A and B are shown apart, each in its own frame.
Chain A
Amino acid sequence: MTSARLARLTPYIYILPAVLVMLAGLMYPILSAVQLSFYDWSLGTDFETARFVGLDAFVEMLKSEQVWTSMGVTVAFVLIAVSAELVLGVALALFLEKPVRGMRFFRTIFVLPMMIAPICVGLIWRYLFDANFGPVNHAVSWMGLSPQAWLADPVLAFTAMVVTDIWQWTPFVLIMVLAGLQGLDESVMEAARIDGANWWQQIVRVKLPILKPILIVTLLARMIDGFRGLEVIYVMTFGGPGLSTELFSLHIFKAAFISQKLGYSSALSILLLVIVSALSIAILLISNPLKTKARR
């Protein structure tokens, strides 16, 4: 082989192993999901016995009340939890933005809730919210209020799910915004002060607009997580009571492995894939690593 030909092949040699694994482990499964969504196939039966049903699964999906309920739960969960996290995270970041001694230690602590396994988070909060011996009820009665069966009531269980998410992910918003504020040009702030901007004006007119891209990316990333996540709620409530905490990803899992409808659950997962990809493309339009390079 000539050295010129080797030089042309070099990049392909570098990417080949990764590309093969992603084709086998991601692309092929996705295409299979598309194919499966056209079949009526039950878990445990031979695929030979599956019936081709065309778009029936998609029609069933759009007509299903459960799908719409689960979608509603997911959207409500994402909107409420993520707005709370953004407001809290930004407020805390503005309060804590001045670099102080020891901040590194505190930042390390703040990362902990998002580093531990989602399954642990679900376990811990299921225990905390337990009706009989959960510490949340101990605290509630200590304050003179009446204890609640948190995870047995639809509204309270939904609230518990939101609280858990806020606990786990507010630090993420805080760290993202702090990183953004640290990169903020000091001369801009000085110019604002010289122009007589007060504390509030500095925040609303200068800091928030500069932080806007980071805030939007954080918002979209958290929305994507809301649609992808199921492990915390899997252990905490398994979607119940009723469908009150049934996030869409969990609904897909149940359709496949509880109702055993593999074709139908594949149709659901195509819908999920479309939603998440749309959010993902939105992130790329704002912060694209390829474009960042071109700009330099």
Chain B
Amino acid sequence: MSNPETVPRGSPLHYLMLTLLATSCLLPLVIMTMTSLKTEAQIFDTQWSWLFAPTLDNYRSVVQDNHIERYMLNSLKVSLAATLITLMLGTMCAYAMARFRFLGREPLSYSTLILRTLPPAVLAVPVFVIWSAWGIGDTLSGVVLVYVALNLPFTIWLLYGFIDQLPIELEEAAAIDGCGPFKVFYKIVLPLLKPGLAAAAIFTFRLAWNEFILSFILTNRITRTLPASISNYITDTGVEWGKIMAAGVLIALPPLIFTFVAAKQIITGLTAGAVKG
């Protein structure tokens, strides 16, 4: 499968179908990008134009008028911190669940499995109330905490699947050679787990970078993350389309780049669980 020479070329009809599908996936994204490069007059034109002189005015004005770079920095901090912490805690927990028998393993497994699908709307009110009581309302740490908690159940189960497939003999051999349980984990398991960690990192980063509703509730004008800041462009008089599309492109960019760099890990993550069954 990995050798391109052995994979046959498909029929023209096959490629026509694929191209049509790819076009319908991409077209809305292309239109968003084009709109972000248009002037207000061009956007409100009753005629749609594919050809126009692109301008970076909208990008310039989201920086100058709305300080979008501040929100991008917030988003970057929150996403990186959430990803790092989730991976550390998630790997350790998944490793214990895959490799140790201990009292409480079953309840832990089943509660994390069910918490994988916890709706953010359920968390909104209590987290809003509790976080202010704990003094982490309106702070980036508060947002990081809720993202780590939300991501952990999925991450644990994704990594559990990967660790479960590692040959346990390597770890046993290392243990016989005198490695303690923690050394086995760092020296043997972590290096082998790289593909799993990559998949988990992408999904965690994606949630933290894209999430809107909890960040909207938990942050103020200063600590807003990038998605929560788009409310700046929706006013009583309407939507500032040029600027909001520029913000949209900036929000969409990192996940797009990830997708092209690590499509394989993403598809592994998406199909994990269901296909193995």
Q: Which residues of A contact B267 (CB under 8 A)?
A: 107, 111, 175, 179
Closest to B35 in A: A127
Interface residues on B, range: 35 or more
Q: Does A252 contact B (CB under 8 A)?
A: yes
Q: Does B26 contact A (CB under 8 A)?
A: yes
B interface majority secondary structure: helix
For the complex, what is the distance from the CA of A15 to the CA of B153, rounded to whole Å? 12
For the complex, what is the distance from the CA of A18 to the CA of B97, rounded to whole Å? 12
Q: Does A67 contact B (CB under 8 A)?
A: no
Q: Which residues of A contact B209 (CB under 8 A)?
A: 117
In contact, A116 and B150 (Cβ under 8 angstroms)? no
Residue of B32, B90, B125, B227 touching A18 (CB-CB under 8 A): B90
For the complex, what is the distance from the CA of A21 to the CA of B65, rounded to whole Å? 38
Interface residues of A in 9-47 (CB under 8 A from B): 10-12, 14-15, 17-19, 21-22, 24-30, 32-33, 36, 47
Residue of A15, A100, A108, A292 touching B96 (CB-CB under 8 A): A15
Residue of B10, B92, B258, B263 touching A98 (CB-CB under 8 A): B10
Beyond A17-B92, A234-B212, A289-B157, whether A11 also contacts B100 by CB under 8 A is yes
In contact, B274 and A217 (Cβ under 8 angstroms)? yes
For the complex, what is the distance from the CA of A176 to the CA of B277, rounded to whole Å? 12
In contact, B277 and A213 (Cβ under 8 angstroms)? yes
In contact, A115 and B14 (Cβ under 8 angstroms)? no
Q: Does A208 contact B (CB under 8 A)?
A: no
Residue of B9, B97, B258, B276 touching A115 (CB-CB under 8 A): B258
For the complex, what is the distance from the CA of A114 to the CA of B112, rounded to whole Å? 24
In contact, B93 and A120 (Cβ under 8 angstroms)? no
Q: Does B24 contact A (CB under 8 A)?
A: yes
In contact, B270 and A172 (Cβ under 8 angstroms)? yes
In contact, A124 and B28 (Cβ under 8 angstroms)? yes
Instruction: Map CB proximity to B onto A157-189 as digits: 1 under 8 Å, 0 otherwise.
Output: 000000000010001100110011001000000
Beyond A25-B145, A138-B47, A180-B275, whether A117 also contacts B126 by CB under 8 A is no
In contact, B181 and A135 (Cβ under 8 angstroms)? no
Q: Which residues of B contact A33 (CB under 8 A)?
A: 122, 125-126
Q: Does A113 contact B (CB under 8 A)?
A: yes
For the complex, what is the distance from the CA of A167 to the CA of B23, rounded to whole Å? 11
For the complex, what is the distance from the CA of A29 to the CA of B218, rounded to whole Å? 14
For the complex, what is the distance from the CA of A132 to the CA of B185, rounded to whole Å? 60
CB distance from B157 to the nearest CB of A (A): 6
Residue of A10, A36, A118, A288 touching B129 (CB-CB under 8 A): A36
Q: Does B123 contact A (CB under 8 A)?
A: yes
A interface majority secondary structure: helix
For the complex, what is the distance from the CA of A24 to the CA of B85, rounded to whole Å? 15
CB distance from A16 to the nearest CB of B (A): 9
CB distance from B248 to the nearest CB of A (A): 5
In contact, A123 and B244 (Cβ under 8 angstroms)? yes
Q: Does A101 contact B (CB under 8 A)?
A: yes
Closest to B226 in A: A117
Q: Which residues of A contact B146 (CB under 8 A)?
A: 25
Besides A280-B117, A292-B276, 19 new A-B residue pairs in contact (Cβ under 8 A), listed by A number: A22-B153, A96-B17, A101-B8, A115-B256, A116-B210, A116-B252, A117-B212, A117-B227, A214-B277, A228-B117, A228-B120, A230-B120, A234-B212, A248-B121, A262-B125, A280-B114, A288-B113, A289-B161, A290-B109
Name B's A-contacting residues (CB within 8 A). Answer: 1, 4, 7-10, 14-15, 17-18, 21-22, 24-26, 28-29, 31-32, 35, 43-48, 85, 88-90, 92-93, 95-97, 100, 102, 105, 108-127, 129-130, 145-146, 148-150, 152-153, 156-157, 160-161, 164, 181-182, 185, 206, 209-213, 217, 227, 230, 234, 239, 241, 244-245, 248, 251-252, 255-256, 258-260, 263-264, 266-267, 270-271, 273-277
